[in-house]
Structure 1
Amino acid sequence: MMSSAQDTNLKTRLLQLECHFTWGLNKNDMDLTDLLTRLEEQLNLDLGREAGVARTHSCMGFVNFLLGSNTKALTDFTRSVELTKSHGNSCEKLLVVVYGDLAWLYYHIGNFAECEIYLNKLGDIEKKYPVVPYAEVLGEKGWSFFKFSRKYYDRAKGCFNEALKLDPEDAEWNAGLAILLYRLQDSEASTAIGQLRRAIATNPNDDVLKVLLGLKLSAQKKRSEYNEAESLVEQALEGSPEHPHVIRYVGKYFRNQGSVDRSIALLRRALEKVSNTALIHHQLGLCYKKKVIDLKKAGRYHKRHKEIKHAQGQCIHHLELATEMKTSFIIAMSELALQYGVNRDFLKADELFQNTLQEAKEKKDNYQSVLLCYAEFEQYRMKCEAAAIKHYTECLKINPKSDEGKRSAKNLIKIANRRIEHNPKDGEAFGILGIVHKERREKQQAVECFEKALSYADNKDYLSDLSELRLSLQ
């Protein structure tokens, strides 16, 4: 039986470790079952890459612990150790994380003797490599933050940057930072492109990185970069024609370029290659959405009615499958609600939007994107401009510089200008413009709009906004 003082001493030593148990990974920040499924799928994608498989087993071990399965956790951590050791003594630093995990797991199990064994092993590594932090540990920490939740993306970015300061040419950390910057909406395109180039330079055979760079370059709308993007996508598809992530991103590239049918064919092929197909179904749903738009734009609606109806049905079908397979798939849920609205199933759409908004807000997962979708649904489907203005405004205030924030500002300006054109003394419309200018930090324009709003409408909210702005301009 361990005394209270001994337990306190042991816990103090454990809290000083660098591992999943001490990194503040909160189970409430993630869908554990979905995360475990994604990690299991990652094992198949990492076959032949011992370091990647070892890392994934280590993450799976912690998830299984959070799910209450200590036996499975022990199996995963042990497998991670075996795979890491297969690299030889040069990879001892990579054992730091999983040894820490094992020490914590044995502590929770109550096997304090095994816990001490792993603490002693960590002490031996520290004596051998006294200079800390290790780039290997920072890199593993970055990948864990990246894999576990979007909420941890900023922390992941910090870890990858610190790891690369210590080892600038490491392919794993360069790839991690590149993929992260690709996903971060508020990262500069040039920064993401530059890091993707560096990552490819350290690992020229990574076809996922190539297609991600192709997507970023094509989004710049420059002819020279478009040609390079086409070349990168062709290389990726030729090099990894069966890789699910390559197929998924190539499908997205073709959809963005207007080759919807080609994208659908590729994504349908991908369905045969992976077990967790929620992401593929989501992409297929977006493809059929684009197909409906293209068919309507082409005109001759009556002749194309059956084709449009079929594509709309397929869009909803694949989005429903995506949300069934991944119950916390916020973006897919939001898109599905929007498509229910397009299909004039307004009650179903509104109910799903309400549920999605609540879940997105609680999990802090794509809440701004859902708000934008809901605002557009209220404006264009429900014809409720007041509700649309409310949601656009909330969306704008979350982050005016994001794509969603910019689209919300654009829609608010359109609404306000149309109302002012109809009634030049519409105080609320000038108040809307004032809010947009304020969020964009265009203070003088905001003051002018709020002054007009107050002269045409008695609204105390505008008064507080105006007072705040006047003080800031002094």
Structure 2
Amino acid sequence: MSSTQDTSLKTSLLQLECHFTWALDKNDTDLTDLLNRLEEQLNLDLGREAGVARTHCCMGYVKFLLGSNTEAVSYFEKSVELTKSHGNDCDKLLVVVYGDLAWLYYHMGNFAECESYLNKLREINEKYPTVPYAEVLGEKGWTFLKFSRKYYERAKECFKKALELEPDEGEWNAGLAIALYRIEDFLQDTSSSNAIDQLRRAIATNPDDDVLKVLLGLKLASRKRYSEAESLVEQALESSPEHPHVIRYVGKFFRNRGSVDRSIALLKRALEKVSNSAFIHHQLGLCYKKKILNLKQAGSHHTKGAEINRAQEQCIYHLEMATEMKPSFIVAMRELAIQYGENRDMPRAEEMFQNTFRVAREKNDNYQSVHLYYADFQQYCMRCESAAIEHYIECLKINPKRYEGKKSAERLEGIAKRRIKNNPMDGEAFGILGIIHKEKGEKQQAIECFETALSFVDNEDYLSDLCELRLSLQ
């Protein structure tokens, strides 16, 4: 093939809508874990040709990312077969997988097959010239939801655009509801909720989807609307008592409501159905963490010691399983590090934290939260306040408006006020307050704190911050 032909072919490929052109960065996900989740999804989607076809298509792309081109071809071809089983009117549903096959054959050097799939796509475009297709936007949205938490906003926009074209389509309504739920859950935003209204709409268009009912129950419970929440959760559990996604979210619901033992029983039942779920192991770890706290509050360590130890062992076991199954599971890793600390295994705690920092840096994900957890570890387990202050400040500076930033500000303020109460001339404590005010954008209060700090200590950083703040107010 001449360079001119190759350039022309590449230009055509770049215009396609498929996994290869959606800017999916393999460093943003754990490919092995993603493959496990997709295989789990296959089992849940049996009987739903559209869902199974979509999952095969996504698995084909993951196999390509893992370097298994032959397996990738097999998954893509299976996706085509399943899609065609819908009937004659399935052309729009083939756009993504045909695009994937064109790209895959291009990478394999089989340019004749590549051109063949490009021709199939041209025929579909001639038949349906009005683009974009809702089917393609929907598949793109589901891919973003599956691939990485970083893509939830992109998923939301895809489903919104699909719903502009097909407002009553159940799949796109469900996709948007799940995207909104996950975005709000990640941001820990309790001020308002777009997810609640969208979940209600999604349930109206998918009345048999019990996962959506549990998610709505979780959202309502977070806003203290417990009666309706419990009714939805009970309905879902009664209708889908063996569905692992229903069981695990119901388990989360009962843990949040304080029914830890019931949650543990449900999650263990789910684990029997899906043994390789890092998510369920993580949820069980959190349940046992909650159980430890409950036991400590219920009686003295002397009377509850053996039970606390068993719960601690189970907590660590399930968190270790979660991180073993998904080595980049930062949320589980940081929790496991804390639990090693609680178990007085400081070397393993420190090693796990350093590993968690490394993964968070590499993936540019959850870095702020790791600073908060490590600061808590230094403050409460290691009793090293100077190291705790350093990491609380790092956490605060990353984003003072996020949950982790606000928590760090609270911790720092508590430390500073305690120290000032013990020593009204503690310059560093006033400097800490100055940093808090500065990061929050409260410039005048920051200036006053830095001035007070400098009256007691010589500190170049405080002086630099003070000069910067004064200049900004001129």
Whole-angstrom distance in 1 between the partners of 2:228 and 2:373 = 33
Contact 2:203 2:209 (C-alpha < 8 Å) held by counterparts: yes
Contact 1:151 1:364 (C-alpha < 8 Å) held by counterparts: no
Residue identity matched to 1:201: A
Equivalent of residue 221 in structure 2, options 218, 231, 238: 218
Task: Name the counterpart of 1:52.
Answer: 51
What is the deviation of 1:111?
Answer: 1.7
Contact 2:152 2:182 (C-alpha < 8 Å) held by counterparts: no
**CA offsets 1:102-133 (integer angstroms, 9 cap, x no match):** 11111112221211111111111111221222
Residue identity matched to 1:200: I
- Superposed, 1:11-410 pairs within 5 Å as 11-184=10-183, 185-186=186-187, 189-220=192-223, 222=224, 225-410=225-410
1:425 aligned onto 2:428: no
Q: Cα gap change, 1:336/1:418 in structure 2, threshold over 3 Å: closer, same or farther? A: same
Find the residue that maps to 1:25 and give its secondary structure.
Answer: coil
The gaps in structure 1 that reach 5 residues or longer are none
Whole-angstrom distance in 1 between the partners of 2:204 and 2:192 = 18
What is the deviation of 1:292?
Answer: 0.8
Find the residue that maps to 1:62 and give its secondary structure.
Answer: helix
Residue identity matched to 1:347: P
What is the deviation of 1:198?
Answer: 2.2
Contact 2:30 2:326 (C-alpha < 8 Å) held by counterparts: no
Shifted more, 441-450 versus 190-199: the winner is 441-450
What is the deviation of 1:189?
Answer: 4.2
What is the deviation of 1:465?
Answer: 2.7
TM-score, normalized by length of structure 1?
0.95
**CA offsets 1:115-163 (integer angstroms, 9 cap, x no match):** 1111111111111221222222122112212211222223222222222
What is the deviation of 1:419?
Answer: 1.0
Contact 2:454 2:463 (C-alpha < 8 Å) held by counterparts: yes
Find the residue that maps to 1:302 and give its secondary structure.
Answer: helix
**CA offsets 1:62-88 (integer angstroms, 9 cap, x no match):** 111111111111111111112222223
Whole-angstrom distance in 2 between the partners of 1:470 and 1:84 = 65
Residue identity matched to 1:293: L
Find the residue that maps to 2:90 and give its secondary structure.
Answer: helix
Q: CA RMSD in A?
A: 1.7
Shifted more, 339-348 versus 173-182: the winner is 173-182
Q: Cα gap change, 1:412/1:16 in structure 2, threshold over 3 Å: closer, same or farther? A: same
Contact 1:375 1:391 (C-alpha < 8 Å) held by counterparts: yes
Whole-angstrom distance in 2 between the partners of 1:347 and 1:212 = 39
What is the deviation of 1:291?
Answer: 0.7
Contact 2:153 2:179 (C-alpha < 8 Å) held by counterparts: no
Whole-angstrom distance in 1 between the partners of 2:197 and 2:439 = 30
What is the deviation of 1:386?
Answer: 1.1
The gaps in structure 2 that reach 5 residues or longer are none
Shifted more, 180-189 versus 5-14: the winner is 180-189
Percent identity, aligned pairs only, is 75
Shifted more, 163-172 versus 40-49: the winner is 163-172
**CA offsets 1:196-242 (integer angstroms, 9 cap, x no match):** 2222222121111111111111112x3xx111111111111111111
Residue identity matched to 1:236: A
Shifted more, 340-349 versus 209-218: the winner is 209-218
Task: Name the counterpart of 1:464.
Answer: 464
What is the deviation of 1:445?
Answer: 2.5
Find the residue that maps to 1:258 and give its secondary structure.
Answer: coil
Contact 1:41 1:275 (C-alpha < 8 Å) held by counterparts: no
Contact 2:251 2:267 (C-alpha < 8 Å) held by counterparts: yes
Residue identity matched to 2:268: R
Find the residue that maps to 1:303 and give its secondary structure.
Answer: helix
Residue identity matched to 2:216: L
Find the residue that maps to 1:365 and give its secondary structure.
Answer: coil
Residue identity matched to 1:208: V
Q: Cα gap change, 1:456/1:178 in structure 2, threshold over 3 Å: closer, same or farther? A: farther
**CA offsets 1:339-361 (integer angstroms, 9 cap, x no match):** 11001011111111111111111
Q: Cα gap change, 1:159/1:313 in structure 2, threshold over 3 Å: closer, same or farther? A: same
TM-score, normalized by length of structure 2?
0.95
Q: Cα gap change, 1:457/1:333 in structure 2, threshold over 3 Å: closer, same or farther? A: same
Whole-angstrom distance in 1 between the partners of 2:264 and 2:98 = 45
Residue identity matched to 1:428: E
What is the deviation of 1:451?
Answer: 2.7
**CA offsets 1:297-333 (integer angstroms, 9 cap, x no match):** 0123211111111111111111112222222221111
Shifted more, 346-355 versus 132-141: the winner is 132-141
